[in-house]
Amino acid sequence: MIIGIIVLLLILLSSQLPSIGAAMILHPFRKPISTSPPATCSSEVFSGEGVDLCGWRAAAHGKRRGSVIYLHGVSDSRVSAAGVIENFRMRGFDVIAYDSRAHGESSGDICTYGFHEKEDLRRVMDSLKPGPIILIGSSLGAAVALQTAAVDDRVSAVVAAETFSDLRTVVTERAPYFFSSHAVASSISLAENKGHFTIDDVSPVKAAAKIHVPTLLIHGADDIETNPDHSRRVFAALNEPKKLILVAEAGHNQSLKGNVWEEINRWIDSVLI
């Protein structure tokens, strides 16, 4: 009797795995915003592609050189941009940071990892003053930045930290150990249907071949969540000028730290004309 119940429960659980997997893909944890805007920022709501994007905008200090848009990682929010904002504001850039759709205080409840997010970003870019536009993204944000740079020639340079090369691969790699290959494939198919997107179209490595602006890739050498090979594949597909920095003893979301920001600043100075 007990064995029969256990078997029945396992069968029921197995049948639900695709729904569980699709929900894990489409609905990342939404981190609440628990801090006020930095003193130099104003709060603003940007119009995305059918969503409202809550963000911060800061004006350049001194002579203006252009604009920086910071794009956060999955399950993160614009709050992680506070230090980035001040760094680039003081270096002469207007800076925008906003919560991606289905994150923070922005509307929408489905994350598509760049499929729809790149259109959101292009609408945010519509609000910028004329001049060079630099996209700086981490993880999810890096993937969105790369996919946008491939389709919008307003982008002047990209800094992408810990990107994935394509969504299908990273979903498969991150699937729980008890998900069979069939369960993973079914999860992806269900996510596509519910999210109204095609997973194989979410591919920074495909986008890379269409990018013709300076691109800096950064990745933690010890990243076990998104292996550095993801950035290596994107780097191989990119056109020149390009640069890849592997940060020693850094895991996922750990590569953007003190001395690396100094390298980013120097690199931007070298490519911005």
Q: Where are the domains of the chain?
A: 40-169+199-271
The residue whose two tokens read 């999860």 is 187
Mean pLDDT of 80-94: 95
Specify the CATH architecture of the domain 40-169+199-271.
3-Layer(aba) Sandwich (3.40)
pLDDT band at 16 (very low <50, low <70, confident <90, very high): confident
Beta strand pairing call for 52-58 and 93-98: antiparallel
30 in Cβ contact with 103 (< 8 Å)? yes
| Amino acid letter, residue 183 | A
For residue 266, pLDDT beyond 70: yes
Q: Is 202 helix (H, G, I), strand (E, B) or coil?
A: coil
The predicted model scores a pTM of 0.93
pLDDT at residue 2, rounded to an integer? 53
Return the number of other C-beta atoms located less than 10 Å from residue 241's C-beta: 14
For residue 5, pLDDT beyond 80: no
